[in-house]
Amino acid sequence: MRISKELRSNLFGDKAFYKLVFAIIIPFIIQNTISSFVNLLDNVMVGQLGKPQINGVAVANQLFFVFNICIFGSISGASIFGAQFFGAKDYENMRSAARFKLYAGLVVFVLGAAAFLIFGETLLSLFLNDDTKPEEVAVTLNEGMKYLRIMVVGLLPFAITQSYASTLREAGETKLPMFAGIVAVGVNCVLNFILIFGHLGLPAMGVEGAALATVISRYVEMAIVIVYAHNEKRYPFMKGLLRTLRVPAGLVKKILIMGAPLFANELLWSIGTTFISQLYSERGLDVVAATNISNTISNLFTTAVFSMGNAAAVLVGQSLGANDMAKARQTAWRLLTFSICISLVTGVLLAAASPFIPMLYDVDEAVRNLATSFMLVVAVTMPFMAFAHTSYFILRSGGKSIMTFMFDCLPLWAVNIPLCYLLVHATSLPILGIFFAINMINFLKCLFGFYMVKKGVWIHNVAKTVNAG
């Protein structure tokens, strides 16, 4: 069956299109692949300390995952405006949106740090459910708290870096965040080796060394991004960013109206995802260790898939800001097609690597086998994940935040969580079967995403409404 020329043009771009896409996603892929690889090395190094240590770090990182997503959510509304302002060449409003992100990141930092320091032990305890190993649970909780207390110090530079990096990416500038990220993961890797095990005359700090290495690397990353981003000749849209702290009240109102549902979506999505991890953990500490290994390795292979979300946010957002609706629609379909193609390749690679990489960990064979099985499930369901993820950013690019909330968060809380709770508590289904069932729900999101993208209700120029107001 031959594909018509018009359909082929809508689904597949020309060389110029893919050159533009690769210019956006390759720096992101490089940065995050290196970061994921270093995270893998961190996991392996911490794993040499023992299962309580790797589990303690894993459950603490579940809490930091919620914080990271909240930062993303807090700047999402402003990012939609930023991409469209850049497309409209409205740099003054783009800078105002960037200032809003800095304020939002600071608020989330204060609230997050307070929550972790006050309720950290209680929150970590939610993930430690194994009545057969009370002593191991106690050691795991202690190791997790050691890690958490130090990592809190690194939340502020993370928030600031993400605010700057998102503004740069909205303009299609991905090389500076990539460079800063590469330097940071290099620093993290070296310091991990030194501080975890105690080299160069320094004492062995264990999980505290891993946390300190991460915190230092985040401050290094923040310093690089801030210093280079204020090169006004190279990045004219950043000129005068900090000469005033003012954000026009009208823009603040529009960002809050649009951004509130997005923040609620990211907050509830991260909490919901973490809750599902907590439900998995009720099947024992071996499941905690296996999911941590699986997630760390899977992230190494899903970076390319997730980079397509960034491409959609930038390219579709800029087309909408330039008021080129036909191009925005065409770009959306081309990116969806490309995301599926990428997911098929990376899924095969993950499946091929899944039996071997867990062997690097000093854990029981049962844990390694379970981690391998989890990764095979991720590999099989990756095309669904890719389509749903790219659809989310396409819908978000037009500022339709309520619709985005319904697409992303509503299925999680209405279907995934109740189903997972039921399967864990009311059945004897093995954890692998539960994991597969929950991941397959992405297929339903794909159907909804396809319908919403095709309908085109997301096509909206928010930059024009600000200037008109």
**Whole-number Å distance between alpha carbons of 200 and 181:** 25
Find out whether 162 and 75 touch, Cβ atoms under 8 Å: yes
Most confident of 159-163, 245-249, 291-295, 445-449: 159-163
Lowest mean pLDDT among 4-8, 244-248, 290-294, 350-354: 4-8
Q: Is residue 129 in some structural domain? A: yes
Find tokens 């059945």 and name the residue.
427
Closest CA to 388 of 342, 330, 339, 454: 339
> What Cα–Cα distance (Å) separates residue 412 from each residue in 59, 144, 269?
21, 27, 7
Amino acid letter for position 450: F
pLDDT tens for residues 313-357? Answer: 888 888 888 888 888 899 999 999 999 999 999 999 999 999 998
The helices-and-strands tally (H runs, E runs) of the chain is 18, 0
User: Could you report the per-residue pLDDT of 246-278, keeping only the tens digit for each?
Assistant: 889 988 998 888 888 888 888 888 889 888 988
Residue 469 located in a structural domain: no
Domain membership of residue 468 (yes or no) is no
Domain range for 346: 5-463
Instruction: Give the residue among 351, 354, 352, 345 at the shortest CA–CA distance from 305.
Output: 345
pLDDT exceeds 70 at position 63: yes
Contact predicate 105/71, CB 8 Å? yes
Q: What is the dihedral of CA 111, 213, 76, 416, to 10 degrees?
A: -80
pLDDT for 134 beyond 80: no
Q: Which two tokens stand for residue 375?
A: 């990764």
The pLDDT of residue 243:
86
What domain count does the chain have?
Answer: 1
Mean pLDDT (the chain, rounded): 86
Higher pLDDT, 32 or 423: 423
Q: How far apart are CA 353 and CA 457, in angstroms?
A: 41
